[in-house]
Amino acid sequence: MNYQTEMKLKRWNRKPLIAYGLLGITGFMYLLQEVLGGSTNSLVLVRLGAKVNELIVLGDWYRLITPMFLHIGITHLLFNALILYFLGIQLESIFGHWRFLLLYVFSAIAGNAASFAFNTSISAGASTALFGLFGSTLVLGKLFPSNMQIGAMAKNFSLLIVLNLVFGLMSPGIDMAGHVGGLIGGYLLAYAISAPRAWGNKKQQIKYALIYVGVVALFILIGYARYIPITQLFN
């Protein structure tokens, strides 16, 4: 490989490819929603994978993932897309492409599992994953204690997290369970996946990964218990 090709690959690798890809998929799914009948149409949302507790109980486990690609209305889409663009680019450069993808997807799973446990309404949106990104910023100061810029970013996002949670409490129809679940998931995952040249403590990473799995399993168990007698869950 010649020098110019190597430099082009390095520059390409530094681009936020995952964030751009997630934005592209989300935009495509919104267009598909509109073509099929509208992003606010409940039948379209259910058809494309929104979180529906009863269907999850019946075996649609993919509904713990797919809601993050669906949005209800253009305002919902644009607000979440802006957060993903500005915050996602920063975090992808810190965590790396694949760690960032894991953080985003598994935060959404944690948020949707919490919504499954505590919210009976149909829900959709990237907020579960985005709150996971917010949660990861709380850890960055500990992962990079000598980096003042990252430390300042972590403090700024701490305030944004509080404001978003307060706004959610005051706004009817907001899936607070999903937001808090995503926040918890992102916090735990930031330790579990760590970051290149950062924490690097394997035992601690495994510990936080196991805590994450335990929390998500608990959410799912609670969700099932709302529809299935607890004695049947273990038969």
Output the pTM of the full model: 0.87
The band of 9, judged by pLDDT with boundaries at 50, 70 and 90, is very low
182: containing domain: 12-233
- Distances in Å between the alpha carbon of 218 and those of 16, 63, 74, 137, 211? 33, 17, 33, 24, 10
What integer is the mean pLDDT of 32-55? Answer: 96
Say yes or no to pLDDT of 196 above 90: no
Cα angle 224-193-164, degrees, rounded to a multiple of 5: 65
Catalytic residue among 115, 127, 136, 194: 127
Q: What's the pLDDT score for residue 231? A: 47
Which residues does 98 contact at the CB level (< 8 Å), separation at least 6?
A: 18
Which of residues 227 and 224 earns the better pLDDT score? 224
Please indicate, yes or no, if residue 7 is contained in any of the structural domains. no
Please indicate, yes or no, if residue 162 is contained in any of the structural domains. yes
Say yes or no to pLDDT of 6 above 50: no
Amino acid at 201: N
Domain of residue 54, CATH code: 1.20.1540.10
Catalytic residue list contains 179:
yes
Say yes or no to pLDDT of 3 above 50: no
Distance CA 217, CA 220 (A): 5
Please indicate, yes or no, if residue 3 is contained in any of the structural domains. no
Which of 78-92, 144-158, 210-224 has the largest mean confidence? 210-224
One-character DSSP codes across the chain: --HHHHHHHHHHHTS-HHHHHHHHHHHHHHHHHHHHT-TT-HHHHHHHT-B-HHHHHTT-GGGGTGGGG--SSHHHHHHHHHHHHHHHHHHHHHH-HHHHHHHHHHHHHHHHHHHHHH--S-B--THHHHHHHHHHHHHHHHHSTT-HHHHHHHHHHHHHHHHHHHHHHHSTT--HHHHHHHHHHHHHHHHHH--TTS---HHHHHHHHHHHHHHHHHHHHHHHHTTS-HHHHT-
Q: What's the pLDDT score for residue 5? A: 42
The band of 197, judged by pLDDT with boundaries at 50, 70 and 90, is low
Please indicate, yes or no, if residue 58 is contained in any of the structural domains. yes
Please indicate, yes or no, if residue 105 is contained in any of the structural domains. yes
- pLDDT tens track for 123-157: 999 999 999 999 998 888 777 777 777 777 777 77
Q: What's the pLDDT score for residue 234? A: 52
Which of residues 99 and 199 earns the better pLDDT score? 99
Say yes or no to pLDDT of 73 above 70: yes
Please indicate, yes or no, if residue 6 is contained in any of the structural domains. no
For 54, phi then psi, to 5°, come to: -60, -35
pLDDT > 70: what percent of the chain? Answer: 86
Catalytic residue among 39, 76, 115, 179: 179
Which of residues 175 and 181 earns the better pLDDT score? 181
Catalytic residue list contains 158:
no
Q: Please give the tally of structural domains in the chain.
A: 1
- The two tokens of residue 171 are 């706004």
